[in-house]
Amino acid sequence: MMSKTIMLACAGGMSTSLLVTKMRESATKRNIDVNIFATASAAIPEESEKHEPAVILLGPQIKFQLNQVKKEVNVPVAVIDMKDYGMMNGEKVLTQALSMIK
């Protein structure tokens, strides 16, 4: 089975990078083979083309861009829960992403 890619995006790509680390730790513990990376919201279309993520999660601070992003890509897009994001809950966010992957 090929590993799935999960893309996180926020305004600058910085605040989501800590969450990426936590999600990777959770994936390792759960023996799930996923590739997770973070990018800036402005780079979503090109990063999506380059990495072909199975799912894209947006930081809560850019949730107003949800509909725009959905038009730009052809994969499931969702906003990370504010609480999970604030607490950097990699486990919960990973579960959210995996539940969206077909």
Determine contact, residues 21/68, Cβ cutoff 8 Å.
no
- The rounded percent of the chain whose pLDDT value lies above 70 is 97
| For residue 1, pLDDT beyond 70 | no
Least confident of 10-14, 34-38, 74-78: 10-14
Confidence of residue 12 (pLDDT cuts 50, 70, 90): confident
CATH topology for 4-100 is Rossmann fold (3.40.50)
What does pLDDT average to over the chain?
94
Determine contact, residues 75/98, Cβ cutoff 8 Å.
no
Confidence of residue 2 (pLDDT cuts 50, 70, 90): low
Active site residues: 10
Mean pLDDT on 43-54: 96
What pLDDT score was predicted for residue 15?
81
- The rounded percent of the chain whose pLDDT value lies above 90 is 90
| Residue 5 structure tokens | 């890619």
